[in-house]
Amino acid sequence: MQITGMKFGNQLLRLVDFPVAETLRASASLDEVSGLIQRHGGKCVVKPVFLGGIGKKGKAGLVRIVDNPYEAMVAKKELYFAIHEQGNRQVQANGVTFEGFIPSDVEVYVNISASTIFRSPVMTLTAEGGVDVEELPPERKKIITFNPATGLKAFHVHDALRELGCPAHYISPLVQHLPKLWQLYDNYGMTVLELNPIRMTRQDGRYLPVACDIKAAFDLDNPAWRRLGFPEEIFSTELSRFEAEINVLRTHQGQSDVVEINPQGSILPFMFGGGANSVTTEILGDRAILSSDFGGNPPFEKMKAIADITMRHWLHQAKVLLVIGGRANNTNIFNTFKGIFDALRDHIDLNPRIHVVVGRGGPRLVEGLTYARDTLDRLQIPHSFFGFDSSMVSVIHYALELDRWLEKASNEAKATARTA
């Protein structure tokens, strides 16, 4: 569940009195847009509204700065249903916002999210906002660690800004306002809160940090987000047919929804557990067709239904079927394996040349592996099994190298056929 942009971000930040750019919705009249431009130095910013967490709109040329209401309306017409390339898919806007232009010489980036390294929320901060923070070297950004029980304090922000060499006249207003973001993050069930950029503008002789764009992600299983009173449809995104079908069957204990990563991918992964999801998605990159977490001890019927949908959509194009997870505590391995491999048996006609790689541990593992072996032997499907004593990372790399080898062999066979 994510939102981006100031249409709802404006309301979100006002809950903690964080300064925000004045925002008008697409229904604003010509006179209202004209007044906005006059109040903000003769300029306004027109942006498309996307459902879900859609970034890099500026780089795609989807942000327009205009200086009169007629140009604003032209931009509205062009951007209202704009198409944006997001990863391996296209997404379509549904509306625009008109935002007051904030003049500034400095843009600040701030992000609060859970760190897998520190096992707690951290704040990432830099005085070089407006860019991808990943592009900045470590010395030009600061990761602030703090105790989530006591929260982010003013001195955390002050010390980080001093270390980054932030101009002194910007430090005080940032110290006053940035700790408010932790209140927002902590009180409303967020997993990510990112402001990029915060522009430093001068008002009444003092500098003020003004949020000009926002990305917020919420934990679907944490009911705190409901206190916001936002309509649930804003947390929707453009689902593929596969996502729309399979996410009706969210896993037994409410684990993460399935997300389609690359419709042209060649590895079909069944991931069990958040750790497996993170490391598999990172290592496989765009070779993975989807990202998933099927943990939470789903019963056989649920696992079989999920696997049936997945096989029906993607088995025909996959070279490798990967079943991966750590050593489970309470997931019945036999039930999950039976669901997956019964579905494979039912859909094997779609791709009888699939290769199977399994890396798993947990209760009834031997029974599950035995059932999988017998099923795959009957289907004459090549397979490699790794137990609980194998490194999950090594198994994923094995699947990746196998996929590359199969791709190379396929390309060589096609080249030979063309020259024959």
Q: What residues have CB less than 8 Å from 14, skipping those under 6 apart?
A: 20
Closest CA to 120 of 154, 138, 145, 97: 145
Strand partners, 125: 110, 142
Q: HSE of 272 in the Cβ direction (CA atoms, 13 Å)? A: 27
Domains of the chain: 2-232 (3.30.470.110), 241-419 (3.40.50.261)
Rg, C-alpha atoms of the chain: 25
Q: Buried (b) or exposed (e) across 78-102, using 16+ Cβ within 10 A?
A: ebbebebebeeeebebebbbbbbbb
Instruction: State pTM to two decimals.
Output: 0.58
CB atoms within 10 A of CB 397: 13
| Angle of the 365-379 helix axis to the 333-347 helix axis, nearest 10 | 10
Per-residue pLDDT of the chain (420 residues; tens, 9 = 90+): 678 888 888 889 999 999 999 999 988 999 999 999 999 999 999 999 877 656 667 667 788 999 999 999 999 999 998 888 765 566 778 889 999 999 988 889 999 988 878 888 999 998 877 666 767 778 888 899 999 999 999 999 999 999 988 888 999 999 999 999 999 999 988 888 999 889 999 888 889 999 998 988 887 677 887 888 877 656 555 556 676 677 666 544 444 457 778 888 999 999 988 777 878 888 998 899 988 888 778 889 989 998 999 999 999 999 999 999 988 877 899 999 999 999 999 999 999 999 999 999 999 999 999 999 999 999 999 999 998 889 999 999 999 999 999 999 999 888 888 876
Q: Buried (b) or exposed (e) across 245-258, using 16+ Cβ within 10 A?
A: ebeebbbbeebbbb
Separation of alpha carbons 172 and 169, rounded Å: 7
